Chains A and B, each alone.
Chain A
Amino acid sequence: MNTIPRANENSWWRRQRLWLLGALLLGAWALLMPYREAWQGYARTHPMQAIDVAAGKSVAYEHAQWRLLNVTERDVPGQREDAMVLVARFELVMDADAEATRLDRCRGRISDASGRVWSNDSFGLLAVKHTLPASCGSGLGADFKTIQAQPGKPWLFEQVYQVPRGIDPKTLRPEIFLAWPEYEPVGRYLRFSQPE
């Protein structure tokens, strides 16, 4: 039997249509699932999807209420001429079941309308004198004792950024991102518009 039966009443394709459909679906699944998993893994530690916050409003994020107070320019001696230093102040009210140490892992950035971002000066390299704690959950208070955000009570903190001179500071939007979220979908981050 060297020949393949041809042009049958019921062709091979018709007879196998259910199996072929199954194979197609399985193939699509095999391509999409790893991509989704990789995306999820990446979004766990990278800000991917912005939650835009209107000026002056507060937003619920990771079981806390966040609000941007203001963004001011700070004069820092020894600064490079083409840069300016901005300080953003936030108010945070933790829910009853939130933890200050978790919120401490927040990452701050500031972005402009075209999508360029600048990091928060988390290492203190800019030598800016802080009047408020620099972290989202805890900080050094008077006489160098550690103070923490308390549930239900407003917690004020500030973030410092170095951006190029020549950008209108009012168009910049401070961002807050918490990696490994417990309550939010992965990859979500807050993007605050400045009050007028």
Chain B
Amino acid sequence: MQAVRNPRWQAVFFLALVAIVLTALLGGFRQAAPKVVPTYAAGARVSSKALAVQPLQAWLSSRNPQGYADANTHEDFLVLEANVENLTRLSNNWYLGSDLRWLTNKDDQTGTKPSIIYLADDNSLFESLQPHLPTRVLLTWKIPPGHAVSEPMRWGLLGRKFVEKTFLTTESGWLPDGAVATLKLSVTDRRAPAAAAQ
């Protein structure tokens, strides 16, 4: 406790107190307002800086784009058709598979990644996006049977920011940068009538 009597330490404690009071007065300890993420409709082109997405239409189907139904689980497929473009300089399949997620309900904050992605031209499996080459793709999600399907459906797009040299390893890369947009589309039900009625 000798430290408290030392005038230098007293000055330090006093300055700390002043800093805390000032921060409180300026509102530093208040709860941060949640980030508002803008919502877009079909046809709008949204960019996450690494990926540009222009959702076109969405539908529900009991068959996947290659025409096969899931014989074992009888799950339905949610298909989102979109024009996507790789805005980075390296061909890859990373961002399309992980940054555009389906928000299953209103409170879903993380979303689900697509299960399989197809090329819309010929329904073949998507391999990777070439830089600056807009491609039409079909992203599919499996809907568990009995899942309450709300209309319209929402998808979330995660943003990325380019880092030239990371601090620790000096690698360069596209790091996640929070949610950037919500896409809201109405979904057509193309399932067989018997299934839809359940």
Touching in the complex, A and B, CB below 8 A? Answer: no
B residues contacting A by CB (< 8 A) are none
A residues contacting B by CB (< 8 A) are none
